[in-house]
Amino acid sequence: MIIDEKKILFLLKIYEKRTRIINYIYQCELFNISLNIEELLINNDILEEDLKILKSIEHQYSLLKSILIKTLSSDWSYERVLPYLRAVIIYGIYELMFNTPNVVINELINITKLHCPGNAYKFVNKVLDLVASKLHKK
């Protein structure tokens, strides 16, 4: 029972970290500005562990957005995708570079279900599946 509680606390900590980082990216997507750590630090108290990840994402932001844009079908423009979904997917693409696709995609689907109405999670699932299949091609 204690092991289960430790595992639950660990997973909750990861979930909270992902949600915080997505929210920072969302702030930028909402106002159509590039991720800029200095700007975020002015208005936010950012945890050290989040700051490391955000700096890495900031450094690769153009690449991550480019991957998202190239993955969208011709029916979808980048601007048509809701800012929160763009934030989730950008963060998801970043995580897919380092972590197991199924775990990343599942967690981001669950976050999307909690924060977005309707079937938005299906869109996130589809885009991240496509990205994962390209990144993890054998």
Taken in order of first residue, the domains within the chain and their CATH numbers are 1-136 (1.10.940.10)
Rounded to two decimals, what is the model's pTM?
Answer: 0.91
pLDDT in tens, 48-92: 999 999 999 999 999 999 999 999 988 889 999 999 999 999 999
Note whether 131 and 91 are within 8 A (CB): no
Q: Other CB atoms closer than 10 Å to residue 61's CB: what's the count?
A: 18
Q: Is the pLDDT of residue 21 over 90?
A: yes
Tokens of 10: 């660990």
